[in-house]
Amino acid sequence: MTGAWAAMQRVFEERERQEIDEGRVARLAELAARVRELSELVILSQADEMEIAAVTREIELLTARLAAAGRGIPPSAEVGDGGVVRQLGSPVTGLLNTLAPPIEIRIGDDGTARSEFTLGLLYEGPPGFVHGGVSAMILDHLSGCAASANGTPGMTAGLDLRYRRPTPLGVPLSAEAKAVRVDGRKTFVDSRIIGPDGRATAEATAVFIMPTR
Ligand SMILES: CCCCCCCCCCCCCCCC(=O)SCCNC(=O)CCNC(=O)[C@H](O)C(C)(C)COP(=O)(O)OP(=O)(O)OC[C@H]1O[C@@H](n2cnc3c(N)ncnc32)[C@H](O)[C@@H]1OP(=O)(O)O
């Protein structure tokens, strides 16, 4: 493991040094939001084959336009208010990652990481319900933020999940995570996703370990 933490820190610091042009981020976030809509329509659209082929060709052209401007390093990360890491390319919270819902996380005065979000069709597992892996991803990330906010960041060493009841798609959900115990390099975090009726749909206990340097 030695070296992995240092390597991560190097990458993090390199990206943190990137200037963030908030106007440009806002434009890119808008682009990402439109691509998410497009992704959902790829599943739902009733267009006929000719129309699908025509749209595919237009998208190829749009992709070529963006590619023509060249490729940089992945988008920046920075530590924001309350110690929340803002990763523009995160698959959970990244405004610029079209795979991300994206969810917004804030840290309360007591160190609890919280978020409210609605998950659409792109995150479906059982028909009409959220994929269990997506719930796990959200709880993992939220718990990582809670460990970080506790001043004891680390890598997920374990994520013990209990799916209490199906998590519905297309309705407002909330989630929360809090560091409950620190034991040397290990931080234990409890988390849950809460359905619109106020009951937990998924609960997790995670352990985060600060790698040896
Ligand atoms: C610098 C950049 C800034 C970053 C700013 C932070 C950003 C924050 C916001 C983002 C939030 C993202 C949240 C998602 C985070 C991921 O997605 S992380 C990616 C997924 N996880 C991984 O890839 C981890 C892969 N595994 C590893 O690298 C190594 O196994 C680990 C986890 C670092 C541990 O390695 P190690 O240091 O060699 O640990 P090891 O000596 O085996 O065990 C240490 C202790 O922990 C215990 N232990 C090990 N596993 C477990 C377990 N599952 N349960 C209980 N105890 C355990 C051992 O028994 C041992 O106990 P003691 O003997 O000390 O009492």
Distance CA 144, CA 2 (A): 21
167 in the same domain as 79? yes
**Token representation of residue 104:** 């917004």
30 in the same domain as 108? no
Number of structural domains (the chain) is 2
- Please check whether residue 14 lies inside any domain of the structure: no
Ligand 1 pocket member 39 (CB < 6 A): no
Ligand 1 pocket member 85 (CB < 6 A): yes
Closest CA relative to residue 139, chosen from 104, 176, 185:
176
The preferred substitution site among 92, 186, 191, 205 for testing ligand 1, maximizing ligand atoms within 8 Å of CB, is: 186
What CATH number corresponds to the domain at position 157?
A: 3.10.129.10
100 neighbors 92 (Cβ within 8 angstroms): yes
Distance from the CA of 135 to the center of ligand 1, in angstroms?
20
Summarised one tens digit per residue, pLDDT across range 84-108 is: 778 889 999 999 999 999 899 999 9
Q: What percent of the chain has pLDDT over 90?
A: 78
Q: List the chain pLDDT tens, one digit each, 213 residues.
A: 457 778 888 887 887 777 778 899 999 999 999 999 999 999 999 999 999 999 999 999 999 999 999 988 887 777 766 667 788 899 999 999 999 998 999 999 999 999 999 999 999 999 999 999 999 999 999 999 999 999 999 999 999 999 999 999 999 999 999 999 999 999 999 999 999 999 999 999 999 998 886
Expressed in angstroms, the distance from the first to the final Cα of the chain is: 8
- Please check whether residue 122 lies inside any domain of the structure: yes
Please give the residue range of the domain that contains residue 25.
Answer: 19-68
25: buried, middle or exposed (CB in 10 Å: 19+, 13-18, 0-12)?
middle
Main-chain phi, psi angles of 106, to 5 degrees: -130, 155
Closest CA relative to residue 24, chosen from 88, 71, 98:
88
Distance CA 154, CA 186 (A): 8
Distance from the CA of 46 to the center of ligand 1, in angstroms?
46
